[in-house]
Structure 1
Amino acid sequence: MKKITILLLSLVCFSGVSQSKSTGVINLTTNMTANFTLNNTTSKVSLVLTGPSDRWFSIGLGVSLGFGMGSGDLLVYTTTLTDRNYVGTITPATDASQDWTTVSDVVLSGVRTLTLERSLTNTDMNDFQLPYATTNSINLAWARSSGVSTSLANHGGTNRGFASGTFTVLGSDKFSLESSTIFPNPSNGSFTIKTNSSLSKVNVYTQTGAFVKTIEVSNDSKDIDVSISGLSTGVYLLELKNDSEKSWKKVIIN
């Protein structure tokens, strides 16, 4: 009886922490990827979306594979992100309610990385709803400008496509890069990043998104001592990366 009780308790504890599921990185086309994470605890969806930094790009959510510019939920980046919907072949209309929040917007080596957040569900009829319990996959459409341009226009036949992703429950948030800690913080520029997941690279940016430096981590270390002393005082963004995850942290230099 004692062993059974312990097993049941373990299962209850595991179900209590398994409150997130993710598609992982979905490769759309060159320089375009999407990674959705649903968090049942916060009732939020986060989307890490990459695209070319020199032109507009877009992603359609929940579309049927093989669709022909029917109606759908659309995110478009020109010089800023807009939440839109499209019907037919006309220019997609901007939603009255802009439900996505841009957490970060950084550019490195010609690739723009947007970290976005929205509630899983809302009352906006133009938004694709993502209820945690029943969302197990997502179909996507992507498009981008055929040339260097931030003016939304016809993308051309070869600059669009489709992809899909399957959500996998994350065993425990404590084993993801999201749970990484930084100490001391604030610091004089020397600090330690501690994580329960492997860490292969740290990109450092200013709060306005300007790239500062890359720190390569050997052997997928879980602890790394960082020194970025000599920088101006202020808030900096750290992009923590490994083969399957990406997470953003803030560090204060004083």
Structure 2
Amino acid sequence: MKKITLSFIALISLAGFSQSKSTGTVALSNNVPITANFTLNNNTSQVTLVLTGPSDRWFGLGFGTQVIAGFGMDGIENGGQADLLVFTTATTPNLTDRWFNGTGNPPQDTQNWTSSNTVSGGTRTITLTRSLTTTDSNDFQMPYNTTNSINIGGVRASTATFSVGPHGGSASAGYATLQFTTLGVEDFSLNASQVYPNPSNGAFLVKTKTTLDKINVYSQVGALVKTIEVNDTSDAVEVNVSGFQKGVYLLELVNETEKSWKKVIVE
């Protein structure tokens, strides 16, 4: 009876997993070092955005945007509005929710995102969550059933500075259209977990869409060098082995039903 009950619970859980879709990680065009990964979850009514960019300067990502005259961005989708996120240490909080209002510095909007960020190897990784739809008219709305693609555009300062200003031309801007794909059961196993950035200086995130109880860190010769107990339900766990020797390490990801191995490189 116990096995039947557990199997029934598992079937219910797997059915819920199919209520998520993702763009996967997409890099912007024009060699701009910005990537974005949107995941929409119909069960929690949340969108998760994993955003990466340069760690030594301000950068921003607009979505629901359209390229104007082959270069500029405007918020002409979503009834005339589009969303914009800007990271800069010149503001508090450092990550600000903004909106397009023509040329110039986009004004700040109500902050509807929760976020965390890590820096490794010159790359800043920010993980953000927000409701799929909000009551803020300046937000780009992402209802699960009708959001099948999204246009994004990103910019970063042409030189190392955190003072938000002109980004220096098309060489510092990039654009992409992201398509959403419904996630299957295999996308929610530990094998589908992501580790980034990799290589790193020893600080990185393990992102998973299933439960994660423990992370064991092994040297390349199989010696256990660190164990991290995961005590919360966060889908992104920070691992820091920056004091270890440079080289290749193996991560053993563990939960009640699975184990999975990932290789990381510490530079």
> What TM-score, normalized to structure 2?
0.65
Q: Would the alpha carbon gap of residues 126 and 141 (structure 1) be closer, same or farther in structure 2, given more than 3 Å must change?
A: same
Is residue 65–residue 139 contact of structure 1 (8 Å, CA) maintained in 2?
Answer: no
Following superposition, which runs of at least 4 residues in structure 1 exceed 4 angstroms of deviation?
11-15, 211-215, 218-222
Gaps of 5+ in 2: 1-10, 76-81, 194-207, 217-224, 231-236
Structure 1 partner of 2:88: 78
Structure 1 partner of 2:133: 121
Structure 1: how far apart are the matches of 2:178 and 2:153? 12
Structure 2: how far apart are the matches of 1:76 and 1:133? 28
Q: Would the alpha carbon gap of residues 184 and 116 (structure 1) be closer, same or farther in structure 2, given more than 3 Å must change?
A: closer
Gaps of 5+ in 1: 1-10, 194-201, 226-239, 243-254
Structure 2: how far apart are the matches of 1:63 and 1:152? 20
1:171 aligns with 2:184: yes
Is residue 192–residue 223 contact of structure 1 (8 Å, CA) maintained in 2?
Answer: no
Is residue 19–residue 41 contact of structure 1 (8 Å, CA) maintained in 2?
Answer: yes
Structure 2: how far apart are the matches of 1:24 and 1:241? 20
Is residue 73–residue 153 contact of structure 2 (8 Å, CA) maintained in 1?
Answer: no
Is residue 153–residue 173 contact of structure 2 (8 Å, CA) maintained in 1?
Answer: yes
Is residue 203–residue 215 contact of structure 1 (8 Å, CA) maintained in 2?
Answer: no
Q: Would the alpha carbon gap of residues 164 and 118 (structure 1) be closer, same or farther in structure 2, given more than 3 Å must change?
A: same
Q: Would the alpha carbon gap of residues 107 and 12 (structure 1) be closer, same or farther in structure 2, given more than 3 Å must change?
A: closer
> What TM-score, normalized to structure 1?
0.69
Structure 1: how far apart are the matches of 2:149 and 2:226? 42
Structure 1 partner of 2:212: 181
Q: Would the alpha carbon gap of residues 14 and 181 (structure 1) be closer, same or farther in structure 2, given more than 3 Å must change?
A: closer
Equivalent position amino acid for 1:182 in 2: D
Structure 1 partner of 2:250: 217
Structure 1: how far apart are the matches of 2:62 and 2:158? 18
Structure 2: how far apart are the matches of 1:224 and 1:121? 35
Is residue 250–residue 263 contact of structure 2 (8 Å, CA) maintained in 1?
Answer: no
Equivalent position amino acid for 1:23 in 2: T
Structure 1 partner of 2:38: 36
Equivalent runs, 1:196-235 vs 2, <5 Å: 204-205=239-240, 216-217=249-250, 223=259
Number of residue-to-residue matches in the alignment: 203
